[in-house]
Amino acid sequence: MNELNLLAVAMGLSAFAGLNLYLTVFAVSLSLNLGWVHLGPGMEGLQIMAHPAILAVAGLMTLVEFIADKAPWFDSLWDTVHTVIRPVGGAILGVSALGHLDPLVTVLAGLFCGSISLSSHLTKAGSRLLVNTSPEPVSNSIASLIEDGIVLGGLYLTYHHPLVLLAVLLILFALFLWLAPLLFRHIHLTGYFILRKLRSLGLPADLSLELPRLISLEARHRLEKDLAGGESLEWAVPVVTGKIQGLPGNCKGYLCRLLPDGRLAVATGKRAPVFFDTDNTEINSSYRTLYDELSLFNARRRRGQSVRFAKNHRAYFEAVKKALTK
């Protein structure tokens, strides 16, 4: 049973360090200094956390992170800087909680604890990127306070109910593995939008443009297999899927219009294209921080679709809007 407790403590400290390393260190150090917790057998390695220097530095950095973590976009920059720092810190905390081990076991334990810390860090970083695409800044502060509450509440379980914490962490880690593809795709697409926004800064103000047929061979092949008789491609422009029934979100693809009836299709090249017409459809556009979004709501079918244009494709966005609202 003691071994399970040690494992739970090590995993807990590693996971919480991935969310907020400085708050985790500060809370552990303060708890030890005030006598709120007493280290059990095998956890003597954590006693160093009670050193006044660690308490002071961790307290200062906790205050800095408390402020930085609530500023839109600066929090994501802060997370990027800590992509190495948090997993390393989590590995050190986790190994310290396990006590004196064989050198080989110490290395393996460090890799294990570091991977747990990295998982929680990536989950936080990915969710913050999602929050930062919202139009209002309040959600950043709310998300930060929730994360701080998770760390403090989790540390309470670490000290007083380690086996309960172990069960919760195993469930959350399994959930992370299940959601990892979606999370990584979101992080990748956010990076894509950021780079395209930087590229758009040097573009001319003139947005007049004839819509091209920019579509990959694979996407064209899938599209042509599903075309109705007599249909042909009028234009195609690169987009990222938003809300498209039948396609996952945050996937690169192409918005296409077909002749002669003018119905639309979204083709990704990896899945069957999705078709929809524009009859009885309300066209809305919005200009977001990282991308421009085109939304189409069909009142008859009560169905909404949306696609996103990178900022360096603003000309395509305006031309598509004009073509669909004629």
Tokens representing 208 are 């007049």
Look up tokens 């991977």; give the residue. 115
Residue ranges of the chain whose pLDDT lies below 70 = 1, 42, 133-138, 202-209, 299-302
Give residue 22's pLDDT.
94
Helix, strand, coil share of the chain (percent; to 5): 60, 15, 25
Give residue 323's pLDDT.
85
What's the per-residue H, E or C state across 161-174? CHHHHHHHHHHHHH
CA distance 161 to 257: 59
> Hey, what CATH topology would domain 217-324 get?
PH-domain like (2.30.29)
- Condensed to tens digits (0 to 9), the pLDDT of residues 178-221 reads 877 777 777 778 878 888 888 777 665 555 567 888 888 999 99
H-helix segments, 201-324: 217-225, 314-324
> How far is CA 321 from its chain centroid?
29
In angstroms and rounded to an integer, the radius of gyration of the C-alpha atoms of the chain is: 25
Pairing of strands 281-287, 252-259: unpaired
Short-list 23, 128, 145, 118, CA closest to 75: 128
**Boundaries of every domain in the chain:** 2-199, 217-324
CA distance 133 to 128: 9
Give residue 301's pLDDT.
62
Between the alpha carbon of residue 169 and those of residues 12, 116, 125, 264, the distances in Å are 7, 9, 18, 45
- What is the CB neighbour count within 10 angstroms for residue 171? 10
Give residue 1's pLDDT.
45
Between the alpha carbon of residue 178 and those of residues 14, 26, 87, 110, 195, the distances in Å are 20, 32, 21, 24, 28
Pairing of strands 303-310, 291-298: antiparallel
Can the peptide bond before residue 260 be classed as cis, meaning omega within 30 degrees of 0? yes
